[in-house]
Structure 1
């Protein structure tokens, strides 16, 4: 009996932490939709919005940076789902025995089910933001979809130019700034790909995907492999017929 008790006592604080991140994802979802509304609403064009509301654009970038950082850590830590599965099995077993453990007051069965769906995603935070962006577009039918996609493609372009232009790169004082720009660039590409009818990889896309992938591949592989994987596995249109063989080859 001692080992299960030790395992339970070890896993409960971890589950409480997972709950906090799950609840934070819901706050991020609301924040993202508010930011999209502020950065796309008439009468200004996306570029004007990004120039006029630089503080909001920076907050949008910070959310994307956190999201990609979190998901990279999640993908490399399978223990997260293993621990959570153990927790769910234990509370299910105790319910069958008409017992309730103190930890269930914080993460009950209903909450555990919602968290399980969240952490089952390969990139849970990114999935949350992608769904939020898609929902924002579908609910704002009077707002042209181009206002949203142009905002995202403009941000991707700004990040790419900063990463590939020597005059900008020399201002980066450390690798963290480079990584910040790369994560934001990949984040807006993925959101664009989820809401644009033909996605980010088509020839008609306003995002220079070849340039974006090239600038990623110029960085040390250990710092960008997670970002390249995000483009490979969390976009919607990479495998469409409209995607050129050259772009697919770049991501292999």
Structure 2
């Protein structure tokens, strides 16, 4: 795939068009706290390509200037990114999480309520999408049941939403992360990024993944970025990718619409 990575994406989009179908894409960008040059660039790319972005904002660190800046940019919206993006996992729990099962549920609910209160105080009660974007993309399996009590109607992590079929809230996940984090944050490269995106699109079109496992054909495909650590390589990739996704077979949707559309038990 290394010689012509974009050819595979173009072919996959053509297959959707030939089938008379449309795939839904959405874009989540994590860890927003302040207006920066990196965020300004992301917003411009979003506007230029009519690709809405949901900024996952860390409530405890968000600066006041972020609210009017976002309000002036129609392709941006915000959602709650935990409270302070702290890792509370114990040594025997796999991976980092701000809301692992080892923490008492009441304590986790209180942190969520504080975060939602801070976010709505900053952006206004109706502006944020009522969705909890999990820091580190991990939460305890019991967390979704307390989200409605806080005022949240959705959860966003990474991976197929079928894993959260019993959640009493909407689940709007990402599937194509453009970064790897060890030994440090770094773009995964064009070949791998395009391959992951094509695989996600094909799994929706065919109703199965590359291993043959069943996949939800109606699940939106989520793109995940982190503007604070973007370098020139990922900016070049997005500049190449997004115009290709202005395609008749692609529907870009914002998170608020997807929360409303997502199935819930």
TM superposition score normalised by structure 2 = 0.26
Q: Relative contact order (C-alpha < 8 Å, sep 6+): which is higher? A: 2
In our comparison, the structure showing a higher alpha carbon Rg is 1
Structure with greater helix percent: 1
Bigger strand fraction = 2
> TM-score by structure 1 length?
0.27
